[in-house]
Chains A and B, each alone.
Chain A
Amino acid sequence: MAEQAPAACRGPGTVVLTGVGVLSAFGRGTEALLSGVLSDQPAFGPVQRFDATSRRVRVAAAMPGSPDLLTELDRAVREACDDAALSPGDRAHSPLFLAIHGDPAIGRARPGSPGTGLHGLGSDAFTAEVAGRAGLAAEGFRCYTSACVAASTAIADAAAMIARGRADRVVVAGGYLVDSDQFALFDAGRVLADDGQVRPFSAGRRGLLLGDGVGAVVIESDESARARGARPLARLAGWGRSGDAYHPCQPHPEGHGMARAITAALRRAGIAADDLGYINAHGSGTGQSDPAETNALRLALGDAVADVPVSSTKSLHGQSLEASGVLELIVTLLAVREGMLPVNAGFLGADEACRLNLVLGEPLAAAPQYAMSLNAAFGGANTALVVGLP
């Protein structure tokens, strides 16, 4: 399928997922996440982690207490490596691609003399610390800060490298824990849902809500996995990335950019639109983004869009910013392996601009062979990831 220039191509290697680790507002671990997203009960509640009394909206999906990002990333990465049964030697040869907003200490650092006061801080230093604690490779780590596509972009890059034989294995992690600064920014931008619920693709939707998300996945070549006797959880069958070239922070209303990302991902997976059995949508629940994503799906999938089940689990676990791509890929993977698709919660009624085959009411029993996770971000950045069961 990849001969027709200039369409997306890939290296010949098969890419697999062999381990996952996760935290969300539903708790730590994959069992908590799966039971949470299949419960149809959103994890939103009053913010208690910091003082939000002066904010317009005071709701988020946050775990109790004040978890520490470095500690939780370390735990999720270890969980993923344990799940993949990686030996200490395997870990020491696995680079970390980390998706975060940045070094959490930067905003309150007190610079000393010009150019030296921030020594030891920064995204790379933070990434090196996470990699070091988990026993991952001391070199080759990367930090991605591309907003809500940071983690999904890191996953796509890892897959592309592995498919071309440029790496045998990469651990991709992402982390966002609801914090006072991002909360204040999103509140000031008036994008938070003032009715306390996220209602993707629904009439009456009023915006997004932030949510805790820390996730890690072990991505490796099928050859590497089999050589060490590991059983892949799924294939990372396809990936696509694109830019809208439209606006600093609004999506292209016709969804042209996201449609190209979807098409590239399907092409790399070597499948047709009607092979998809589930789409975990970006579905932010905002006025402009949901119709744009609907148009992208209609453009890219054609008639198949009428049949493929779609849900945005941001309606359950919230928007985890830079970590969204890895959290939602894990949700997609767990759902497909369980044979139960999570609901698109918060739905009030149909919006003609968002006509999709939404999973409503209760989780849907299904056995898809292929599923897609979509993400979009400021800057018109779009990603699409396709997982296939082995």
Chain B
Amino acid sequence: MTYPMTEPAAELAAPFSPCLQDLHDAASRAGLAVSASASWPETGDDGEVTPLAGFIESSFSPLIAQVAVRALERRERPPPDRATATATAIVIVTALGDVTSAARVAAAVDRGERVFPLLFFQSVPNAIAGYLAARWHLTGPVVCVSATSAGLDIAALLIADADADDALVVRVDLAGTSGDSGRAAAILVTGTTSQNNLGTA
């Protein structure tokens, strides 16, 4: 298995960094095949994550978009056209969630200030999932959980039960301190023969 990244384990070993290796290992345990993967940062050129229109103040959603788009562009087949689209589930894994946005909201509330309206729209991880789903026509279920193993187990069952043909699983974590844009990794997974023979009724 080859990973399209230049600095593997050491680069991803910080306390709150998502780990591409963990995603691959969890996919393997769940009986899933990985068709594409990506992470941030991957190379020294990955400095500041590219901002995303409509998402403000926090790198949480832009990080998810960055690794998701990289993985989607690397998948072994071209994106399906709308007439023959497969259903791709989106599973977002985050241990702490968007701590930057949560802290911004809490600070504004504690000061008795109004909250900037765009923070409402990015207050749940579903929003960036919906952004990706719309751009890439991903019609499978949208799920957000806090642990990698759960995320891959969920993806495996969605595929086995034909809720989805494949799944985009993204792990993202912010460090929770200002100035640290966090890290993310994504894999696209499909079922394997053994995974699909689980006694479909």
Could you tell me which A residues sit within 8 Å of B by CB distance? 2, 5-12, 51, 54, 101-103, 106-109, 111, 114-119, 121-124, 127, 142-147, 149-150, 153, 157, 160-161, 163-166, 180-182, 184-191, 240-249, 257, 260, 264, 377-381
Cα-based distance from A123 to B133 in the complex (angstroms): 25
Q: Is B143 an interface residue (CB 8 A)?
A: yes
Q: Is B26 an interface residue (CB 8 A)?
A: no
A185-B123 contact given A107-B102, A244-B130, CB 8 Å threshold: yes
Asked if B157 and A157 make an inter-chain contact with CB atoms under 8 angstroms apart, the answer reads yes
From B14, B95, B125, B175, A122 is in contact (CB under 8 Å) with B95
Asked if A164 and B157 make an inter-chain contact with CB atoms under 8 angstroms apart, the answer reads yes
Asked if A2 and B124 make an inter-chain contact with CB atoms under 8 angstroms apart, the answer reads no
From A115, A121, A150, A166, B177 is in contact (CB under 8 Å) with A115
Interface size on B, residues (CB 8 A): 67
Asked if A114 and B126 make an inter-chain contact with CB atoms under 8 angstroms apart, the answer reads no
Q: Is B109 an interface residue (CB 8 A)?
A: yes
Asked if A248 and B54 make an inter-chain contact with CB atoms under 8 angstroms apart, the answer reads yes
Q: Give the residue name and chain of the A residue nearest to B156 (CB).
A: A166
Chain B 98-140 interface mask (CB, 8 Å, partner A; 1/0): 0100110110111010111101110111111111011011111
Asked if B130 and A115 make an inter-chain contact with CB atoms under 8 angstroms apart, the answer reads no
Asked if A181 and B106 make an inter-chain contact with CB atoms under 8 angstroms apart, the answer reads yes
- B138 CB, min distance to chain A CBs, angstroms: 6
B-side contacts of A180, CB under 8 Å: 109
- A86 CB, min distance to chain B CBs, angstroms: 23
Cα-based distance from A243 to B164 in the complex (angstroms): 10
From A117, A243, A260, B176 is in contact (CB under 8 Å) with A117
Asked if B125 and A145 make an inter-chain contact with CB atoms under 8 angstroms apart, the answer reads yes
Asked if B142 and A146 make an inter-chain contact with CB atoms under 8 angstroms apart, the answer reads yes
A6-B162 contact given A124-B95, A145-B94, A243-B90, CB 8 Å threshold: yes
Asked if A164 and B160 make an inter-chain contact with CB atoms under 8 angstroms apart, the answer reads yes
Q: Give the residue name and chain of the B residue nearest to A13 (CB).
A: B201
A-side contacts of B102, CB under 8 Å: 102, 106-107, 181
- A175 CB, min distance to chain B CBs, angstroms: 15
- A4 CB, min distance to chain B CBs, angstroms: 10
Cα-based distance from A181 to B120 in the complex (angstroms): 10
A377-B124 contact given A243-B139, A245-B133, CB 8 Å threshold: yes
Asked if B14 and A380 make an inter-chain contact with CB atoms under 8 angstroms apart, the answer reads no
Q: Shortest 7 CB-CB distances between A and B: which pairs?
A: A379-B126, A189-B120, A379-B130, A107-B106, A241-B141, A123-B146, A381-B142
Asked if A379 and B127 make an inter-chain contact with CB atoms under 8 angstroms apart, the answer reads yes
A-side contacts of B14, CB under 8 Å: 115
- A155 CB, min distance to chain B CBs, angstroms: 12
Cα-based distance from A63 to B160 in the complex (angstroms): 42
A-side contacts of B198, CB under 8 Å: 11, 164
Q: Give the residue name and chain of the A residue nearest to B108 (CB).
A: A184
Asked if B96 and A185 make an inter-chain contact with CB atoms under 8 angstroms apart, the answer reads no
A-side contacts of B90, CB under 8 Å: 243, 379
A-side contacts of B112, CB under 8 Å: 51, 54
Asked if A243 and B120 make an inter-chain contact with CB atoms under 8 angstroms apart, the answer reads no
- B86 CB, min distance to chain A CBs, angstroms: 8
- A331 CB, min distance to chain B CBs, angstroms: 23
**Can you give 17 A-B contacts (C-beta < 8 A)?**
A10-B201, A11-B201, A12-B201, A101-B124, A109-B103, A122-B95, A146-B142, A161-B157, A187-B115, A188-B120, A241-B141, A245-B137, A248-B127, A260-B139, A378-B124, A379-B128, A381-B126
